[in-house]
Amino acid sequence: MSELSTATLLINAPDRKGLVHAISTFLLQHNGNILHADQHQDAAEQLFLMRIEWDLDGFTLVGRQAIEQAFAPIADTFNMRWRLDLAQERHRVALFTSQYEHCLSDLLHRHRTGELKCDIPLVIGNHESVRDLVEAHGIPFHHIVVTPENKAEAEARQFALLEEASIDTVVLARYMQILSPLFVEKYPNRVINIHHSFLPAFDGARPYHRAHARGVKLIGATSHYVTSELDEGPIIEQEVQRVSHRDDVAELVEKGRDLEKIVLARALKWHLDSRVLPYNNKTVVFD
């Protein structure tokens, strides 16, 4: 079996009896061989959340349209919110960056080695300093200056580039600009950010400086989907590291950058693997 001949359903529905039976029966009726199935019941919200992946070799429904049309009546019966992902349809990812290279460099390396199974047709940055790094990986770099006065014009240029490249996911690899509500609306739960703090602590700017001033014993990093509320989107992944009074701000920043790279890469990989199910401003990340 090729790893590219699989399909995945991510499902969010009011919790009730018969959900698993209906989904598994649908796959059985069309000769689907289930490879992975994971589910979670959110008792407080009375929701059923599921990820189910199956082999498309021998599956009698061929193509996205056929599968979606056949599954839609079941989804309607159970009032599901659902998404179908096909492994053969590779995500097309745009990286946004400023002048900090650590997250950008790490993602480009992981992409080159095949760890991140996606296409990266372009990188957009508001500083020229990363151009050589990006172009060394054979990826076009687009420099778009963003100021308070030209923000709408700059985003219009960004939108044009994203649409031309058929981008479905945007990753903010330490992109030090706040996106407009219009941008977020165009890519709901498809803009992934790395925040250099263990949210909800020290949101906004200069978190390491504020953490040092507070005398924290742990620093962290958080990757989340971007919403119109700054640093308030559904959290995908977090990591922490112990620090002490001996660490100055520069040392906190250095340690934090290692956390940022790891956390952002994990979040993107899980997103690409259809393992992240956002709901009610939080997420379930399936194994």
Q: Are 81 and 11 in contact (CB under 8 A)?
A: yes
User: Could you count the other beta carbons within 10 Å of the beta carbon of residue 287?
Assistant: 6
Q: Are 226 and 204 in contact (CB under 8 A)?
A: no
Q: Are 84 and 46 in contact (CB under 8 A)?
A: no
User: Could you count the other beta carbons within 10 Å of the beta carbon of residue 58?
Assistant: 11
Q: Which residues are identified as catalytic?
A: 231
96's tokens: 């946004």
Phi-psi region for residue 201, left (φ > 0), alpha (ψ -120 to 50) or beta? Answer: beta
Strands lying side by side in the sheet with 235-242: 141-143, 118-125, 91-97, 169-173, 191-195, 218-225, 235-242
CA-wise closest residue to 30 among 68, 2, 70, 3:
70
Say if residue 114 is exposed, middle or buried (CB neighbours under 10 Å; 0-12, 13-18, 19+).
exposed
